[in-house]
């Protein structure tokens, strides 16, 4: 079985936890490490949260690297639920798992260069502000040759924003970093709010995490039920999205998604800083730089995420393998 060699760049974060646990339970993913950035909460908290998430699974082979503590240019902003901070012990059990000593940007550079030398390029799942990735690309442009693709949960086009009326949070938190990544020439797949809003998880789905997913599943249940994620006025029905997990699901089951090529960029100044645009019809004098996902098989994605989280609850099966056999 061909496996994606993946780094997850992340700012945990509740949705991030689901994406990380999905990747750790997917034999299609060879998770090389996590690179951590400030975003949903300050860096000390995102780093602690990442270690707790990985620690739940016993996957001490997956290093966690602390990265950049703030955006490149703009003032620091945090996520909607920043007050949750470091995950409390009654939500996610404390872990003795510690971060690696190497800085996240150095790890990205070193790993991408080695991947280029071996002709085995990596994939980056970017599910937080893209500051770590941007710094790696602008400081060491050669690392782009070692990146097969960046799959980014970012942007909002027809759906507009959720952190502000015009912006999706990951871009809003560091629009200058996003624009560097968008213009890097690395192949991009964008998972915008327009698509993530199409797959809504309800209390029944969270209960299945709890009942089937062992300690990781119970932690996800705790996190997802701490705040009411429904927005019936916006979504038209009960439930809420799990945005970040779509990046991992795309690598595992790309047939669940439909998309279109576009030129994607970011507004860097003024009141609407952080607004992302997508030119699907080549109105601009710029080459198309991304494939934007516009649709998702809702039931297929929900079933896949539930099934992968349930693998953590089967103590007789290594979640990295199919049916307990070597992948």
Structure confidence at residue 319 (pLDDT): 53
- Please tell me the pTM assigned to this model: 0.94
- For position 152, which CATH number holds? 3.90.245.10
- For residue 316, being part of any structural domain is answered with no
Question: pLDDT (tens digit, 9 = 90+) per residue, 39-58?
Answer: 989 999 999 999 999 999 99
More confidently predicted of 233 and 117: 117
Question: Would residue 4 show up in a list of annotated catalytic residues for this protein?
Answer: no
The H or E element that residue 4 is part of is strand 4-10
- For residue 273, being part of any structural domain is answered with yes
Residue 238's alpha-carbon distances to 193, 228, 235, 309, in angstroms, are 17, 10, 7, 22
- Cis preceding-peptide flag for 13 (omega within 30 of 0): yes
How high is the mean pLDDT of the chain?
92
Confidence of residue 174 (pLDDT cuts 50, 70, 90): very high
Structure confidence at residue 318 (pLDDT): 56
Structure tokens at 100: 């690696």
- For residue 36, being part of any structural domain is answered with yes
Structure confidence at residue 151 (pLDDT): 98
Contact 10, 38 (CB under 8 A): no
Confidence of residue 323 (pLDDT cuts 50, 70, 90): very low
Structure confidence at residue 236 (pLDDT): 87
Question: pLDDT (tens digit, 9 = 90+) per residue, 255-301?
Answer: 999 999 999 999 999 999 999 999 999 999 889 999 999 999 999 99
End-to-end CA distance of the chain: 7
- Give the structural domain span for 49: 4-311
Question: Is residue 326 predicted with pLDDT exceeding 60?
Answer: no
Structure confidence at residue 233 (pLDDT): 85
Question: pLDDT (tens digit, 9 = 90+) per residue, 113-158?
Answer: 999 999 999 999 999 999 999 999 999 999 999 999 999 999 999 8
- For residue 165, being part of any structural domain is answered with yes
Catalytic residue among 4, 65, 243, 312: 243
Mean pLDDT for 19-45 is 96
What is the number of structural domains in the chain?
Answer: 1
- For residue 319, being part of any structural domain is answered with no
Q: What percent of the chain has pLDDT over 70?
A: 95
Contact 82, 41 (CB under 8 A): yes
Residue 122, strand partner residues? 147
Structure confidence at residue 184 (pLDDT): 96
Structure confidence at residue 232 (pLDDT): 87
Contact 27, 16 (CB under 8 A): no
Q: Which residues contact 52 (CB under 8 A, 6 or more apart)?
A: 87, 92, 93, 94, 95, 97
Structure confidence at residue 230 (pLDDT): 82
- For residue 326, being part of any structural domain is answered with no
Query: What is the CB-side half-sphere exposure of residue 217 using CA atoms within 13 A?
Result: 23
- For residue 214, being part of any structural domain is answered with yes
Structure confidence at residue 327 (pLDDT): 32
Confidence of residue 97 (pLDDT cuts 50, 70, 90): very high
- For residue 147, being part of any structural domain is answered with yes
Structure confidence at residue 325 (pLDDT): 33
């Amino acid at each position: 079985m061909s496996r994606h060699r993946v780094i997850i760049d992340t700012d945990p974060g509740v949705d991030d936890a689901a994406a990380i646990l999905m990747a750790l339970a997917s034999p299609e993913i060879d998770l090389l490490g996590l690179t951590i950035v400030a975003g949903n909460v300050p860096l000390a908290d995102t780093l602690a949260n990442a270690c707790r998430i990985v620690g739940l699974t016993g996957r001490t082979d997956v290093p966690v690297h602390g990265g950049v503590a703030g955006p490149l240019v703009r003032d620091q902003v945090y996520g909607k639920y920043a007050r949750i901070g470091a995950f409390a012990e009654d939500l996610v059990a404390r872990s003795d798992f510690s971060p690696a000593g190497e800085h996240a940007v150095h790890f990205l550079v070193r790993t991408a260069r080695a991947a280029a030398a071996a002709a085995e390029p990596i994939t980056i799942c970017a599910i937080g502000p893209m500051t770590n990735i941007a710094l790696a690309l602008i400081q060491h442009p050669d690392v782009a040759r070692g990146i097969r693709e960046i799959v980014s949960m970012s942007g909002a086009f027809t759906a507009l924003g959720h952190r502000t009326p015009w912006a999706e949070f990951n871009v809003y938190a560091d629009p200058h970093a996003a624009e560097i990544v968008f213009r890097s020439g690395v192949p991009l797949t964008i998972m915008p709010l327009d698509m993530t809003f199409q797959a809504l998880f309800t209390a029944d789905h969270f209960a299945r995490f709890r009942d089937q997913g062992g300690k990781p599943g119970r932690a996800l249940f705790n996190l997802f039920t701490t705040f009411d994620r429904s927005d019936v006025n916006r979504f038209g029905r009960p439930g809420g999205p799990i945005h970040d997990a779509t990046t991992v699901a795309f690598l595992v089951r790309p047939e669940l998604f439909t998309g279109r090529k576009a030129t994607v960029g970011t507004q860097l100044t003024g009141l609407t800083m952080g607004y992302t645009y997508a030119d699907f019809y080549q109105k601009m004098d710029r080459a198309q730089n991304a494939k934007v996902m516009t649709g998702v098989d809702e039931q297929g994605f929900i079933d896949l995420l539930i099934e992968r989280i349930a693998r953590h609850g089967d103590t007789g099966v290594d979640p990295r393998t199919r049916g307990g056999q070597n992948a």
